[in-house]
Amino acid sequence: MAAVPHRVRRERRRPVLRPGAPGARSGTRWPWSRPRPCQRLVLDRQRDRPPRRSPLGGALLVLTSFHTVVVADAATYLISALLVLAVRRVSVPAVRAEADETPATGALAEFRAGAAYLFRHLLLRALLLTSSSFLLVNAAFTVLLVPYLVGRLGADGEQVGLLLSALGIGFLISAYVGRAISRSGRLRYGAAGCLAAVTVTFGGLFGWHDLVAAAVFLALAGVPGGAFLLLIEVQVQRQTPDHVLGRVSAAFSSTEMAATLLGGLLGGALAAAVGLMPTVAVLLILLALVAAAALVVLPDKVVAPDAAPIEPERTSVE
């Protein structure tokens, strides 16, 4: 018996939009397009081209080498540490401890005292939970940012630098936005609104595959992101008494840095396991959940203390 031939289904070829053709967008890389050998050569030359209008780090990279830039960057941290050690000790009047506290001696004991006060305070504990969750997700997004810009959008070194500069512009504007939210005293809706805005801008950044759109969304993301961090920092200082402010701030910052480190590790591991865009989808859901949690754990209105200026005390320098 002769075999019945299967009906061959012809697949419809999708058109490849050339640059300048109707419907084509600048900077968009279609997943079904394949560059020809001559196009690969042009892309390789553009990728290897030295950046123009580069900042100081880029100029140093062009004039010297990558290792020189790394050594110079590490040297700046070493110089900063030496300058901190060179600060002379200042003697201040001793502050009496509260009735329910015992004086802490030693760095570890002071850190424990600050952490104990932090976790006993309801509002500070809620601020720490919200801030650490945001920084964890934000660190995961940061790990994916450069691979996305280079791999999906085809950005070179110069374009990546310009995109990060757009993010810095957003952070500068966030100082005024965060100040306005802090003065209003609406902590719950201010924090949740900032987190929701960051979620929307991150969704636009990774959802719209265009370099110009990426610059706009990065600048927009810096505004609510920086405003949220400023709002958290202001509330920590307002809600913490002066005699434990240093210890509480140390415990608060250490927890935030640990969350940032963990977020970077988890973001890279998840992207390697399931891919970049599925990881972005998971992170967007987590960030939306953090915004929803801020509506639950944070109070609606916080009372701002009197902002009258305080005369600084005279201290003697040894």
Contact between 151 and 209 under an 8 Å Cβ cutoff? The reply is no
* Tens digit of pLDDT at every position of the chain (318 positions): 444 444 444 444 444 444 444 444 444 444 434 444 444 433 444 444 444 444 565 566 657 777 787 888 888 889 988 888 887 766 555 555 454 455 556 678 888 888 899 889 999 999 999 999 999 999 999 999 999 999 888 888 778 888 888 888 999 999 999 999 988 888 999 999 999 999 999 999 999 989 999 999 999 999 999 999 999 999 999 989 988 888 999 999 999 999 999 999 999 999 999 999 999 999 999 999 999 999 999 988 776 544 444 444 444 444
- Identify the helix (H) or strand (E) that includes residue 255: helix 245-274
Instruction: Indicate if 78 and 175 belong to the same structural domain.
Output: no
Q: 237 and 118 in one domain?
A: yes
Strand ranges, E, within the chain: 90-91, 316-317
Task: Please state the domain count of the chain.
Answer: 2
> How far is the C-alpha of 37 from the C-alpha of 81, rounded, in Å?
51
Q: Is 274 a member of any domain?
A: yes
Is the domain of 129 the same as that of 184? yes
Domain that holds residue 74: 56-85
Same domain, 81 and 136: no
Q: How far apart are CA 238 and CA 187, in angstroms?
A: 12
User: What pTM value is reported for the model?
Assistant: 0.67
